[in-house]
């Protein structure tokens, strides 16, 4: 045998599995077809601007995060706990009144936060927030769950629906309510942010902790069980191991395993070098300009990222991101349409803004339909496991737990 375990895929789940296996005393070879680690978590450096693939954030409240990485070393820049809501020609900053007291009165008196909606939100989220509700609770689609809780006013239609659609890359309201409650709980407990060196810093740190370097540019072509082990055929040769963990992206599963690809949601991100200085503070900007709430254009959220994380832009320059959703007819809006929408949202001309990057991410996140389940790694035969966030939950927390559970299962197979 060349090694105990081959891990195929150096995304978050694969890297976590590899490190956990090493902690169990196993020898591990990690294969990655791309030229860098991270899977769907990637960052481009464009003339000193850091442009992540897909609008991603890291929440330090994720329980699995501190077990896996040195969070302090990532030097997170935190978003404000709140959002700016654009409604027509008005923009209001709504923020957590205890964490951002300067906005407390403005938030509590806002038309977007009627008292009845606040009570309805408490009814909907309260049990999960205090740990009395969870994965095993009766589940339903997000939209139906909010309706049932009586959360049907402006807080939902001007803020929650749009914010959550951006988080899930799903504007249908069909995602699992139980899963969304868990996500919102993590948002309530932590302050999501961006690592100083971009989101890529997370997988880079994880890979650097492994005893053997990840084999980059080495894609797996076949995974076959043999007598007492597995045979992994790569484009650089064959590896014999006692077992294998397949941790590739959901859309790559059919080619490698013959398994059906899990459903996914997609989005795009645009990154601009902004002229002038669009001032929003460290907040996400959400559009509620349609009658009844919701975005009036293709952009579902946007932020001046350099106001959140100054390290994402050269000194004195300004970086703006904008996200569209691929489940919408305008998800692939043109540059001109995006510029027009940004000009409306920020109330300034965008003609001098420079496009730095435009990422189309068709499989950004696994879909999470009700009932929400975390089945753990899928066993193919006696020596092959399939894992990833699609086997746990659609988040970095889910990917970390998926990797850990797969490693523990593989270790048990070899015991």
Give the chain's radius of gyration (CA, Å).
22
8 Å CB contact between 80 and 282: yes
DSSP labels, 210-229: SSS--EET--EEEEEEETTE
195 phi/psi in degrees, rounded to 5: -65, 150
Q: Report the C-alpha gap between 106 and 89 in whole angstroms.
A: 17
Closest CA to 300 of 269, 336, 262, 265: 269
Q: Report the C-alpha gap between 331 and 85 in whole angstroms.
A: 21
385 phi/psi in degrees, rounded to 5: -120, 145
Structure tokens at 2: 């060349």
8 Å CB contact between 146 and 157: no
Enumerate the β-bridge partners of residue 222: 233
Closest CA to 86 of 326, 347, 262, 336: 347
For 106, the 3-state DSSP assignment is helix
Pairing of strands 318-325, 301-304: antiparallel
Whether residue 32 is annotated as binding a ligand: the answer is: yes
Structure tokens at 10: 């150096």
Q: Report the C-alpha gap between 76 and 309 in whole angstroms.
A: 8
Closest CA to 222 of 257, 249, 251: 257
Residues in the chain: 415
Whether residue 111 is annotated as binding a ligand: the answer is: no
**Binding site for FAD, residues?**
32-33
Residue positions forming the annotated binding site: 32-33
């Amino acid at each position: 045998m060349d090694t105990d375990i081959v891990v195929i895929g150096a995304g978050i789940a694969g890297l976590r599995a590899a490190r956990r296996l090493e902690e169990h005393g196993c020898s591990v070879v990690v294969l990655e077809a791309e030229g860098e680690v991270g899977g769907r978590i990637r960052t481009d450096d464009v003339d000193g601007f850091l442009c992540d693939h897909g609008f991603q954030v890291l929440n330090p409240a994720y329980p699995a995060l501190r077990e896996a990485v040195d969070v302090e070393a990532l030097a997170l820049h935190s978003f404000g706990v709140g959002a700016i809501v654009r409604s027509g020609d008005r923009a209001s900053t709504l923020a957590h009144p205890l964490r951002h007291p300067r906005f407390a009165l403005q938030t509590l008196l806002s038309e977007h936060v009627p008292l009845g909606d606040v009570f309805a939100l408490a009814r909907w989220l309260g049990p999960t927030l205090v740990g009395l509700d969870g994965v095993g609770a009766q589940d339903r689609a997000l939209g139906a769950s909010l309706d049932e809780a009586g959360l049907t006013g402006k807080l939902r239609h001007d803020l929650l629906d749009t914010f959550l659609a951006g988080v899930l890359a799903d504007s249908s309201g069909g995602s699992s309510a139980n899963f969304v409650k868990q996500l919102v709980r993590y948002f309530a407990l932590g302050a999501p942010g961006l690592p100083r060196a971009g989101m890529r810093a997370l997988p880079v740190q994880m890979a650097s902790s492994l005893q053997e370097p990840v084999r980059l540019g080495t894609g797996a072509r076949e995974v076959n069980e043999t007598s007492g082990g597995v045979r992994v055929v790569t484009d650089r040769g064959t590896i014999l191991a006692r077992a294998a963990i397949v941790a590739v992206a959901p859309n790559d599963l059919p080619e490698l395993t013959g398994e059906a690809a899990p459903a996914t949601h997609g989005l795009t991100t645009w990154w601009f070098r902004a002229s002038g200085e669009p001032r929003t503070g460290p907040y996400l900007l959400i559009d509620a300009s349609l009658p009844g709430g919701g975005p009036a254009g293709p952009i579902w959220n946007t932020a001046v990222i350099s106001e959140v994380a100054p390290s994402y832009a050269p000194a004195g320059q300004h970086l703006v991101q904008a996200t569209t959703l691929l489940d919408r007819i305008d998800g692939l809006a043109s540059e001109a349409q995006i510029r027009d929408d940004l000009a409306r949202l920020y109330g300034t001309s965008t003609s001098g803004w420079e496009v730095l990057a435009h990422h189309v991410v068709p499989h950004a996140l696994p879909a999470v339909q009700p009932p929400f389940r975390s089945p753990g790694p899928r066993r193919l035969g006696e020596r092959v496991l399939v894992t990833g966030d699609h086997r746990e939950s659609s988040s970095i927390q889910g990917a970390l737990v998926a990797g850990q559970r797969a490693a523990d299962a593989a270790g048990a197979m070899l015991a």
